[in-house]
Structure 1
């Protein structure tokens, strides 16, 4: 397969490599001079000569605080969240959600995280039902309004054990549910009954989720091989050879698809754009920082999903780099040197992201300039953000659901929802769904 463009230009500034899950308790910033410290978490004293202008060191146009006001788009009422990222592009803007949320139901959705594996798959919502893939490769369907059980099915192949079968994910085209599994299989199920339609086996495990668009299922194996299958029969349309398996952080990412282009994240930090129809490789970027230290050399994985919006791709890696690229050419638009393992959320002219330092950051899409940076409350590990009802929502491993102002980053509200959460909230039908580490599914409306 011919590569049209392979660009590995990195930014030339960062103070330190980012260590995964290191959190420093710093206060919220207010000036351009300390924004870089807020995002990267640097506490080293640095002598700077001359005029200091950059909000975050790196390439791009940012020369100070972002000037564009944060304008939240009108909320869209979505009946479904049919992909791991909601829609194939992973860009949902602002979803309809009430200001006051009450618990509607709590149900157990299978086996949660254990000593042999983590619960990582995002739930999906389609056709009035919510579907969950647990840590032992079982899929369960529930009523999205009441939590009543509809069906359940194990995807564990004959002669295999579900222990350690964590990873994979779900996506839907409405009539079918497509599941990827750690057994290296893709399985199509009837959404109404759970009955198996087809099953395909691949050489390597599939730890990440699929994306479904235009009659095709896209996914990447742990060997960094990208595939496209037909939704009707599972026949292979194309395959792209990868760089082989590499060490990475536990994550559950998935490709982004828009305008006939598939942007697939790989565990070695590569972000590769393919033709959705034929698999031709358009461009390839690597999201490792130019100065990432040896301690994160094996954690280059793009754990958050890439997002396609307005002809641009936004992605962040564990290895100290977030960047925006032109969707068609792969040309870098801007780059910032900080780490994250959550999916960026695009809304209006801004992209919101949680950094590895447990900070929520608002970045201007056009320039990469930072509008604000705030420390997330209470410490811990946070998943999100998503935007519903004009506010940003995130959930933590300390059992806290918090909402934030997109204009300022100020905390609007926090509430205890119990137990540990490592999976970002899902919003559909004016309802927030939360899946905790024990595979208990909560609905708030």
Structure 2
């Protein structure tokens, strides 16, 4: 039987198609670092494309700032249980007073996540391998250190957790699911509670209870004296999210809990009864942000107002007691906002410092922080930590080590300092000294 020409050409067609496919795949390889191993899974853009109205420069207005007060302690990750430090004093020339290593810093296996705390003249840090260290704030001298890694566990799996102080104890959470109450003078364990699941978030404490969010989206209320669990509440968790969690805000016997699914819940802080709930996720959101709904920025309580920002693209002001939404802006953020009087300062995920009226949500002025990015090739990797507001100045620390100082009334440039290190943790200010913790685990005191 005579065979058709198509029969003889079929092997060549197959070979040609395979050759084209191979050439296409090779063209997709990067020639910068050679062939890279591409991990399986869906790629998601995590920096949002935002749409919100900003005033023209000629329509900028000047906010009124509250009086300045001295800050003597930083006992919680957000300064206090409300995550609201206010307008603090700061007479500083940004000179190095001392610098010490706290241990192991960020690496491929883990990263620093814990904000240092300061109480009674000592500063406490937690490195990327769950080692807590106490330093004297005047000299930087090490007082004691203690590893909180359980026997048989690997240190390089220890990243996450955080520190707080209350009732004369240092409270520490770890990635191994432990909550420790330690003696602040020597690090001895007063009590220890294991939750059975990792904890990435820092603890927050008030009125005799410690509140901790575990990675399974469960909030735990723990008796600070005994370590006994008083109540907990679990909410569903999203499949995609950041490898970190945030902490709660507490005031007037109300604890405001940001869940990784994008919901904000308020509970009675004593008995755990649910008071209200809201969502920072956007309905019918078709953008890549829709799969990552985390609330990474700490909620802030100012009098009877709760300010909260979500990664997906929404900032809201809510009545603390009822959950009634006072206003809403389509601004995404993973940085905790800062409130001074009636003025809210926040850094959006698209790199803008924005000031708003806390009562109405109206924008006073904004500053494009991308203007400080000299190396445009690295611009996509630069983010901004903060803000802090002190002595009529706004302080912002970029991840590539630029400390930006702006006028708090209008955003005008005052100065920029190159620290020449990488940073992922917002600085803290106590007694006119600013403390910075770099990604390579160096604690720096500037005066």
What TM bracket, shorter-length normalisation?
Answer: 0.7 to 0.9
Tell me the CA shift for residue 41 of structure 1: 5.2
Give, in whole Å, the separation in 1 of the partners of 2:342 and 2:320. Answer: 17
1:249 aligned onto 2:275: no
Contact kept in structure 1, 2:50 and 2:313, CA below 8 Å: no
Tell me the CA shift for residue 222 of structure 1: 1.0
- Match of 2:7? none
Q: What is the TM-score with the length of structure 2 in the denominator?
A: 0.84
1:398 to 397, 400, 409: 400
Contact kept in structure 2, 1:82 and 1:174, CA below 8 Å: no
What secondary structure does 1:70 align onto? coil
Cα deviation code 1:8-33 (max 9, x no counterpart): xxxxxxxxxx95336xxxxxxxxxxx
Tell me the CA shift for residue 233 of structure 1: 1.1
Tell me the CA shift for residue 244 of structure 1: 3.8
1:363 aligned onto 2:356: yes
Cα deviation code 1:316-350 (max 9, x no counterpart): 11101111100010011111112111001011111
What secondary structure does 1:297 align onto? helix
Tell me the CA shift for residue 95 of structure 1: 1.1
1:413 to 412, 415, 420: 415
What secondary structure does 1:91 align onto? coil
Contact kept in structure 1, 2:50 and 2:332, CA below 8 Å: no
Cα deviation code 1:375-424 (max 9, x no counterpart): 11225211000112221111111111111112112221110112101110
CA, structure 1 residues 383+139, in 2 after alignment: closer, same or farther (shift >3 Å)? same
1:131 aligned onto 2:157: no
What secondary structure does 1:296 align onto? helix
Tell me the CA shift for residue 235 of structure 1: 1.0
Cα deviation code 1:115-152 (max 9, x no counterpart): 11111111111110111111111111111111100111
Give, in whole Å, the separation in 1 of the partners of 2:108 and 2:92. Answer: 38
How do residues 68-217 of structure 1 correspond to structure 2 at under 5 angstroms? 69-173=62-166, 175-217=168-210
Moved more, 168-177 or 254-263: 168-177
Q: Report the number of matched residues.
A: 393
Tell me the CA shift for residue 79 of structure 1: 1.2
- Match of 1:21? 47
Give, in whole Å, the separation in 2 of the partners of 1:99 and 1:139. Answer: 28
Give, in whole Å, the separation in 1 of the partners of 2:302 and 2:160. Answer: 27
Give, in whole Å, the separation in 1 of the partners of 2:178 and 2:353. Answer: 36
Cα deviation code 1:246-276 (max 9, x no counterpart): 4312445210001110001111111111111
Higher relative contact order (CA 8 A, sep 6+): 1
1:309 aligned onto 2:311: no
CA RMSD of aligned residues (A): 1.9
Give, in whole Å, the separation in 1 of the partners of 2:291 and 2:439. Answer: 25
Moved more, 79-88 or 93-102: 93-102
What secondary structure does 2:275 align onto? strand
Listed as ranges, the gaps of 5+ residues in structure 2 are 1-43, 374-378
Tell me the CA shift for residue 228 of structure 1: 0.7
1:227 to 216, 220, 224: 220
What secondary structure does 2:291 align onto? coil
Contact kept in structure 1, 2:100 and 2:442, CA below 8 Å: yes
- Match of 2:328? 335
Cα deviation code 1:89-124 (max 9, x no counterpart): 011111111042321011001111111111111111
Give, in whole Å, the separation in 2 of the partners of 1:250 and 1:351. Answer: 27
What secondary structure does 2:156 align onto? coil
Contact kept in structure 2, 1:292 and 1:320, CA below 8 Å: no
Moved more, 124-133 or 98-107: 98-107
Q: What is the TM-score with the length of structure 1 in the denominator?
A: 0.85
What secondary structure does 1:163 align onto? helix
- Match of 2:260? 267
Q: Give the structure with the larger helix fraction.
A: 2
What secondary structure does 2:164 align onto? strand
CA, structure 1 residues 108+311, in 2 after alignment: closer, same or farther (shift >3 Å)? same
Give, in whole Å, the separation in 2 of the partners of 1:245 and 1:237. Answer: 26
- Match of 2:424? 422
What secondary structure does 2:80 align onto? coil
Listed as ranges, the gaps of 5+ residues in structure 1 are 1-17, 23-39, 43-53, 58-63
CA, structure 1 residues 250+351, in 2 after alignment: closer, same or farther (shift >3 Å)? farther
Contact kept in structure 2, 1:422 and 1:437, CA below 8 Å: yes
Moved more, 277-286 or 93-102: 93-102
